[in-house]
């Protein structure tokens, strides 16, 4: 009996030990599971952080691209892109026809700056003539009309005293003494205009530390008012033109107010179009831009539209030079002073007597304000009236009732 009790107690003790061992093992497994779970959570967090960093890099790359484009601006008045960036107090400025072209030019200039090319150029003391030619070729020649290009070349040839001077040595006093040699007039105004643009570019490009033209005060531009053709002169001109094949051309200048080189004779059929009941003519814009890509739109009356459309083949036989010479000969024969530019003044005056809005007249003529049109182009003719203009031109002018 004693042996049985002993062995019974022993088996129950073993059972309890087994239960305790199982409990302890389960605790160990639970702890191990928790550790494994924690490791997995850490791995997930690391992966998430890596993904977040990748996304941040992508976003920063996009932002970097946007930041590059922030240095590119579009000039609506000039119809071209301008890239501008400031580095170490130096402003780098470039121009281009497209946004991509402008960005590429800007990046090239930045690389040049950091490769110390600009510093080397400063040490080499480039002459005024060398820098002028570079400025002209890079920022002006691709965008200017033939007439403006010749103007800048003539101005360069007049500034002989500055040609061999180092651009860094040209001071305010040197510029003033050079300007004193020229007489007051439109030629001197153009010299001042382009010299100012040149030195501003050199300062922004880092070639000179101080702009010598910055503190020079110049006189305001003086407009030489030209008189329009009087009513009697207009009658005489129209009567004389009956014998000439140039008559449609002169009438187009009279009813559009175009400048001498703004009428594109060779492409006039492509530039004439109609939208609903409104008629338009695309004309060359001569305000310092490329003749091929820059146009302005002139609104026409129905009769003026038909006049151009019916004489397209005849108009293609002319150009601005032959037209200018032929009209000058007619005026000389009639003993009347003026030229094609006088037709532009006559356009403004006739529109004034027709009662057309001032803003319409100035926009048609390409002026920035109607005040310019009133002060410098519109003339008074006490023999002229609305009825006389209507009778003389028979609704060739566009009218607003």
Check whether 384 has a pLDDT greater than 80: yes
The alpha carbon dihedral of 80, 86, 91, 94 has a sign of: negative
Of the candidate ranges 29-33, 71-75, 179-183, the one whose mean pLDDT is the lowest: 29-33
| Backbone torsions φ then ψ of 206, nearest 5 degrees | 85, 10
pLDDT band at residue 94 using 50, 70 and 90 as cut-offs: confident
Check whether 303 has a pLDDT greater than 90: yes
Q: Measured between alpha carbons, how far is 89 from 119 in angstroms, rounded to an integer?
A: 14
Q: What distances in angstroms separate CA 165 from CA 34, 162, 168, 182, one per listed residue?
A: 84, 5, 8, 19
Run of H or E residues at 61 = helix 2-69
Q: Measured between alpha carbons, how far is 304 from 397 in angstroms, rounded to an integer?
A: 7
222: alpha, beta or left? (left if phi > 0; alpha if psi -120 to 50):
beta
What is the SS3 assignment for 393?
A: helix
For 103-125, the pLDDT digits (tens) are 888 888 888 777 665 555 445 57
Give the list of residues 6+ apart from residue 343 with CB closer than 8 angstroms, or none: 229, 250, 253, 254, 257
Decide which of 1 and 244 is more confident. 244
Given this model, what pLDDT does residue 47 score? 60
pLDDT band at residue 26 using 50, 70 and 90 as cut-offs: low
For 146-161, the pLDDT digits (tens) are 777 888 889 999 999 8
**192 contacts 218 by C-beta, under 8 angstroms:** yes
pTM of the model: 0.56
Given this model, what pLDDT does residue 42 score? 65
Check whether 88 has a pLDDT greater than 90: no
Q: Measured between alpha carbons, how far is 384 from 401 in angstroms, rounded to an integer?
A: 19
What is the SS3 assignment for 282?
A: strand
**208 contacts 167 by C-beta, under 8 angstroms:** yes
Query: According to the per-residue pLDDT averaged within each range, which of 63-72, 184-193, 241-250 is highest?
Result: 241-250
Query: How many residues are recorded in the chain?
Result: 401
Q: What distances in angstroms separate CA 292 from CA 16, 153, 252, 295, 312, one per listed residue?
A: 103, 21, 21, 8, 20
**301 contacts 294 by C-beta, under 8 angstroms:** no
Q: Go through 25-60 and write b for each residue having 16 or more CB atoms within 10 A of its CB, e for each that does not.
A: eeeeeeeeeeeeeeeeeeeeeeeeeeeeeeeeeeee
Check whether 251 has a pLDDT greater than 60: yes
Q: How buried is 326 (Cβ within 10 angstroms: 0-12 exposed, 13-18 middle, 19+ buried)?
A: middle
Residue 280, beta-bridge partner list: 273, 299
Check whether 136 has a pLDDT greater than 80: yes
Of the candidate ranges 28-37, 110-119, 335-344, the one whose mean pLDDT is the lowest: 28-37
Q: Measured between alpha carbons, how far is 161 from 178 in angstroms, rounded to an integer?
A: 7
Q: State the average pLDDT for the chain.
A: 80
What is the SS3 assignment for 382?
A: coil
Decide which of 248 and 32 is more confident. 248
Ranges assigned E (strand) in 188-277: 272-275
Residue 201 burial (CB count, 10 A) = 20
Distance of alpha carbon 94 from the chain centroid? 12
Of the candidate ranges 30-34, 135-139, 188-192, the one whose mean pLDDT is the lowest: 30-34
| Backbone torsions φ then ψ of 230, nearest 5 degrees | -70, 170
Share of the chain above pLDDT 90, in %: 23
Check whether 198 has a pLDDT greater than 60: yes
């Amino acid at each position: 009996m004693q042996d049985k009790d002993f062995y019974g107690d022993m088996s129950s003790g073993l059972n309890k030990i087994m239960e305790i061992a199982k409990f302890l093992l389960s605790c160990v497994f639970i702890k191990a599971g928790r550790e494994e779970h924690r490791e997995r959570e850490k791995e997930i967090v690391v992966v998430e952080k890596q993904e977040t960093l990748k996304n941040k890099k992508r976003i920063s790359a996009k932002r970097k691209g946007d930041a590059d484009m922030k240095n590119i601006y579009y000039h609506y008045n000039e119809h071209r892109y301008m890239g501008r960036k400031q580095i170490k107090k130096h402003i780098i400025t470039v121009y281009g026809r497209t946004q991509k072209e402008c960005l590429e030019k800007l990046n090239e200039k930045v690389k040049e700056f950091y490769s110390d090319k600009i510093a080397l150029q400063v040490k080499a003391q480039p002459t005024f003539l060398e820098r002028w030619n570079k400025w002209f070729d890079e920022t002006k020649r691709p965008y200017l009309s033939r007439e403006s290009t010749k103007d800048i070349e003539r101005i360069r040839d007049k500034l002989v005293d500055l040609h061999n001077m180092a651009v860094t040595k040209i001071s305010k006093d040197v510029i003033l003494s050079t300007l004193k040699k020229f007489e007051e007039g439109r030629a001197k105004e153009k010299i001042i205009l382009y010299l100012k643009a040149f030195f501003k570019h050199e300062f922004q490009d880092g070639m000179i530390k101080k702009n010598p033209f910055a503190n020079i005060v110049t006189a305001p531009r003086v407009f030489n008012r030209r008189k329009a053709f009087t009513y009697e002169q207009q009658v005489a001109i129209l009567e004389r033109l009956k014998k000439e094949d140039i008559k449609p051309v002169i009438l187009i200048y009279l009813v559009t107010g175009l400048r001498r080189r703004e009428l594109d004779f060779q492409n006039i059929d492509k530039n004439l179009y109609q939208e609903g009941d409104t008629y338009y003519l695309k004309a060359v814009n001569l305000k310092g831009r490329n003749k091929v890509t820059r146009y302005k739109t002139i609104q026409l009356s129905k009769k003026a539209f038909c006049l151009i459309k019916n004489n397209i083949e005849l108009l293609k036989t002319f150009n601005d030079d032959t037209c200018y010479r032929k009209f000058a000969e007619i005026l000389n024969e009639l003993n009347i002073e003026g030229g094609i530019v006088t037709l532009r003044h006559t356009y403004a005056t006739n529109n004034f007597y027709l009662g057309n809005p001032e803003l319409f007249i100035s926009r048609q003529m390409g002026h920035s304000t109607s005040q310019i049109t009133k002060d410098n182009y519109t003339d008074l003719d006490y023999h002229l009236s609305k009825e006389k203009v209507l009778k003389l031109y028979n609704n060739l002018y566009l009218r607003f009732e």
